[in-house]
Structure 1
């Protein structure tokens, strides 16, 4: 079931979102115990993005209430997506949309971690990268391009030649000394990335595509996949059993979830 402000959503409610694609969201993995890793960070994201996109404060107490309601009777683990948009938004006058509503949808969650991922480098830069917005056309077109070439997903490279992030995930690297490196680039501040940065030593540095391929290992992170090794970037294979990767995977699974 999909709900809008706690009520079953109608086609009329969804039409403005489908036609304009103006909104922002967060996706949260709810584990078997009903808890969510980084729940407070997800709420912070929704509040921050609501100020940027709509210029208003978001009541995260309502968000939690609607998520709890949507999880009743659901098989766990699952992934809950909270989308914030205004059903009154119009293409000609988006400035008039100033009363965002809360849509909640639920889907199944796979096992952690999923199989390693082969990534293809694609020249792409997201609009407003600091916001987790609904404008996914460019990212999904890049993903489709990579999949048509036989890869699992796209790894974005900016006009400056620097690696930034993946289709719907942050990317990290393991250097020759076994240290964790996060790209210094305009990227979405991912919740899983933030949790790992809190618990594991790391550094941030610019990473060119050639440098990325020369790393000891690479990995993707988001709430649905946790820490997923990259088995290749373009035609360059990468190890998927590096000790640092195993450490990050185990560390992530030990991070306690927060209750709604």
Structure 2
């Protein structure tokens, strides 16, 4: 299998060395994500899961160890080239969508391609193709304020996919959504993974959201505490396994029953 992400013995410290207020947010973490995987990261607040995502996304830098994305060690990329690397290799699904109200849905989706100076004809073809696959072709000429929340979600997913990123990252993507909208977004992410072969890494505290993934890594005190693989289990069976593990790591095990 092709390894999209390889993390080797990373550590992340906050604070000043030699002082008592230093915090170890990540403690010798190693993991791998293969092409086409849908991996969930779970853990209680302060467990290190968001710090991990920030380091993978190049927003933050590790204190030790290596993060390799598509055979490139991101620690070795200079500040001048990091934005270009991010645009070409990573896709992001934000909790609040981050759509630009002054741009149409078509322009929002195409923004990354436009920044990369992709040929105009190619941009048009790619936007239309992804819009059809995610069911938003009919609203491409509308503005974000003219469409529903569910359509905004699918637009955000199309934008994350449009540049054919090696890895799509999502931090609590359903955190600000009601249950109906959350389920719609999760179904779209599942479609991206299963139908479009997108490689996805999602940080979430919610067992319902996590049950959509195929593998889950549980974090505690900056370390991987446990791992679950869905395999042939139903999503409901996987959900109950997640609840059992969260009861051990101190995560949110009081979420609503899966439907």
Name the TM-score, length of structure 1 as normaliser: 0.30
Compare relative contact order (CA 8 Å, sep 6+) and give the higher one, 1 or 2: 2
Return the structure number with greater helix share: 2
